[in-house]
Amino acid sequence: MKNKLLGIGAVLWLCALPLQAQLQLPDSARQTHFVTRTTMYGVGAANMYDTYLSPQEYKGVEVRVARESMRMTRWADGNLSLQNFLQGYVNYTHNRVDNNNMLAAQVNWNYGLHYHIPLTDNFRLLAGGLADLNGGFLYNLRNGNNPASARAYLNIDASVMAVWDVRIKRYPIRLRYQLNLPVMGVMFSPHYGQSYYEIFSLGNADGVVKFTSLHNQPSLRQMLTADLPVGRLKMRLAYLWDAQQSKVNDIRTHAYSHAFMVGFVKEFYLLKKPRN
């Protein structure tokens, strides 16, 4: 019996080691080890336009999934946070006379840093920059010669956030607003009327990769979130407005999305020391 009790005690002690190591972290280390991760799912409205495929707008429904990770770093005296945001959508749209449909899918990855500027105890501003990588396609269900259009572009974004911790009576809510604005980048685009067969099989690829900036790609992404405690969990409600536009190689495009999303927030401390 004594041996069994010793064995149980040893197991409990081993299980408690990670928690003990976490609790013994100094305040500065706990701050840089703190991670917030969220996975969200949502639906919304989509508006697609691509003159390479059709001169008409297409409107319909969209399904979107997003995963975000944020943590503080040790750079700039611990005032820089690292954001990793990956999202993707699929939408199905139709034209105004409802005689044709399009299918679209795209993946977007943002990765970058924000500098924290605390203004009050419960309100702070964040400013920084992000790498913005995008890839996807748009498929017209009735076109014969050019049924699909590829989407591939890389941007450097200016990004700002506002984070506000409020209380309704004793109920805490964290509100966050984020805006990402592409400043410069590169985009793949065929010329108007040029087929992908000419580009990839015949090698007529001159001018299909173009420099982009505000003059030919005026775009932005905005997101508003609210983190709400639900028992021991924390739920996130979000609204995303994604407006991507371009005018490259005589082809005009836009992809507008209004999506409402919901997910759960996971907060924890990293036991492994981060590299930065």
The answer as to whether 31 is a domain residue is: yes
Question: Given this model, what pLDDT does residue 7 score?
Answer: 47
- Nearest alpha-carbon partner for 177 in 240, 220, 133, 230: 240
Q: What is the 3-state secondary structure (H, E, C) of the chain?
A: CHHHHHHHHHHHHHHHHHHHHHHCCCHHHHHHHEEEEEEEEEEEEEEEEECCCCCCCEEEEEEEEEEEEEEECCHHHHCEEEEEEEEEEEEEEECCCCCCEEEEEEEEEEEEEEEEEECCCCEEEEEEEEEEEEEEEEEECCCCCCCEEEEEEEEEEEEEEEEEEEEECCEEEEEEEEEEEEEEEEEECCCCCCCHHHHHCCCCCCCCEEEEECCCCCCEEEEEEEEEEECCEEEEEEEEEEEEEEEECCEEEEEEEEEEEEEEEEEEECCCCCCC
| 41 Cβ contact partners less than 8 Å away, ≥ 6 residues apart | 64, 65, 261, 262, 263
pLDDT at 272: 59
Over residues 177-190, the pLDDT tens digits come to 999 999 999 999 99
How many domains does the chain divide into? 1
46 contacts 81 by C-beta, under 8 angstroms:
no
Residue 70 domain flag? yes
User: Does some domain include residue 194?
Assistant: yes
Q: First CA to last CA across the chain, in angstroms?
A: 49
Task: Count the Cβ atoms, other than its own, within 10 Å of residue 18.
Answer: 11
Say what the pLDDT of residue 145 is. 75
pLDDT at 31: 54
Q: What is the CATH number of the domain that holds 256?
A: 2.40.128
- Structural domain contains residue 274: no
Residue 169: the pLDDT is 87
Output the pLDDT for position 34. Answer: 78
Report the pLDDT value the prediction gives residue 260, as an integer from 0 to 100: 98
- pLDDT 10s digits, 237-264: 999 999 999 999 999 999 999 999 999 9
Residue 129, domain extent = 2-269
Residue 131 lies in a domain: yes
Domain membership flag for residue 197: yes
Question: Looking at residue 9, what is its pLDDT?
Answer: 46
Per-residue pLDDT, 25: 40
- Nearest of 174, 106, 165, 97 to residue 136 by alpha carbon: 106
Residues 6+ apart with CB under 8 A from 15: none
Amino acid identity of residue 165, one-letter, is: D
Question: Is 206 within the bounds of a domain?
Answer: yes
What is the rounded (10 degree) CA torsion for 70, 30, 236, 158?
-30
Give the pLDDT score at 177.
98
- Using 50 as the pLDDT threshold, list the residues of the chain that sit under it: 1-30
276 in a domain, yes or no? no
